[in-house]
Amino acid sequence: MSLPGAPWLARAGGELRLEGHSLAALAREFGTPLYVYSRQAMRAAARAYHQALQGRPHLVCYAMKANSSLAVLQTFAAEGCGFDIVSGGELQRVLAAGGDASRVVFSGVGKTRAEMEQALAAGVHCFNVESEGELDRLNEVALALGRRAPVSLRVNPDVDAGTHPYISTGLKGNKFGIAHDRALAAYRHAAALPGLQVQGIDSHIGSQITQIEPFIDALDRLLDLVEAVEAAGIPIHHVDIGGGLGITYTDEQPPRADELVARVLQRLDARGHGGRQLLLEPGRSMVGNAGVLLTEVLYLKPGEAKNFCIVDAAMNDLMRPAMYEAWMAIEPCTPRDAAATTWDVVGPVCESGDWLGRERALAVAPGDVLAVLSAGAYGLAMASNYNTRPRAAEVMVDGDAVHLIRQREKVATLFADERLI
C-alpha cells in the first residue's frame, strides 16, 4: 500500500507503522491527540537538498515556521542546515536547539526594533528586508549599536505559484516583498545607508508548489535585477530563491528536491551566475510527510444528511483543514474487517468549521485510533489553545528509539499567567 511519507510510513500485518513502530501502540502509551515524527524522514529530506547542491556554494535554511519544535530544529542543525526565521521568538528557538545564528536568515514583513537588535546581537547571516521603510529602521538600529546590518532585499516578482491564495506570496496583491519595478531604487537606497551592507537578493513566491516552472520564472526575474543592480555598482553576493516546494497529500506529484535544484543550477549556469552562493528556504518539503497526527474516535453520530465521526483532535490541534480547506489523508491505525461508511471526521471544538476530513470512507468504532497523514508541517506549529484545550504531545521515532520531545500541556499552565481582579 502506497502512503504519503513512504518508505517510513507503511502497513505491516495490517498495523500502520512509522519507522516500524506501531502508531496504535504509541497512541496507547502517550495518549491522544499525539503528533509522531520520523527522524529518518527529516534527515533524508535535508540530505536530498545538500547532495543536490554538492560542490556549489550554498546554504539550506530550513523555514522553521513549518515546524519549530526544538528536536526538529536540533535534527536539521545536525544535518548542516541553517534556518529561515520570521520572529525573535524563532531565533531564540534556533539558539536553544543548538543552531548557529550565522546561518540564519531573518524574513518577515513586520520586524520590530527589538527583534532587529536581538538578531544583530546574535550575528545573523542576513536580514531579508521587505520594504523601504524597514531599510530605514534597520539602518537606525544598526547605527545605534555600532554595527552594519547584512541585508538582502526580498523582491516580489509578480509570479503566480499556482497555489492556494492564502499561501501565495509572490503576486502584486500580496503583502510580501518589494515590488519588482521598485527594486533597483530600493537597492540604491540601501547601498547609500551607512548602517547596511547589501549582501543578496531574495524571493519567495508561495507554498505547496507542485511545478518547477514558477521557480524558474521567479529566478529569471531575480537575475534580471541582479544584472541591473550590479551595473549600478552594487555587488550581489548571493541569490535566495526561497522555498515552497510541495509534498504529496493526495495524488500530487511535486518534483523532488534534486530535480528542482538541478533546474535552478542549470539556469544559473546558463545565465552566467553559477559562481554565486545559492540560498534555499525549504519548509514543508523537509517535514510535511515526516509526521502524522493520531486521534481517538470518541463517538459515531449517524444522521440523515451527514454521518459524523467525532474524534479527540480538533481544529486547534490541526488548523490546515479549517483554514485552507486542505485535504489530508486519514487512515485507521488498525483496520477493521467491516464495511466502510462515509463519515465527516470532526473534533470537539464548538465551531462548525472544526473538521479534519469530509466524506471519508472508514470502517471505525469508538476507541479506534486514526492517523491524519502528512501532518509534519503546519500542524503543532499553528496549534492554539482555543476552548482552553491543551496542545498535543509530540514523539520522535528514530530507528529503534522513541523520544517524547514535547509533553502534553496541562490545563493549569494555560492560565498560569492570568490574574483575577
Q: Which residues are catalytic?
A: 350
Q: Is the peptide bond before 33 cis (omega within 30 degrees of 0)?
A: yes
| Vertex 86 angle, CA 66 and 381, to 5° | 30
What is the gyration radius of the CA atoms in the chain, in angstroms?
23
Distance of CA 278 to the CA centre of its chain: 19
Task: Single out the residue of 226, 223, 228, 229 nearest to residue 270, CA to CA.
Answer: 223
21-22 sheet: strands from edge to edge = 9-12, 15-18, 21-22
Take residue 243 and report the three cell numbers written for it: 522555498
Which residue in 297, 296, 310, 280 sits closest to 392, CA to CA? 296
- Residue 80: other Cβ atoms inside 10 A: 14
Identify how many contiguous H helices and E strands the chain contains and give both numbers: 12, 21
Strand extents, DSSP E, 23-169: 34-38, 58-63, 82-85, 104-106, 126-129, 149-156
- Strand positions, DSSP E, 88-146: 104-106, 126-129
Distance spanning both ends of the chain, measured CA to CA: 58
Strand residues in 290-400 grouped as ranges (E): 291-301, 308-311, 330-332, 341-346, 355-362, 369-372, 393-398
How far is 59 from 53, CA to CA, in rounded Å? 9
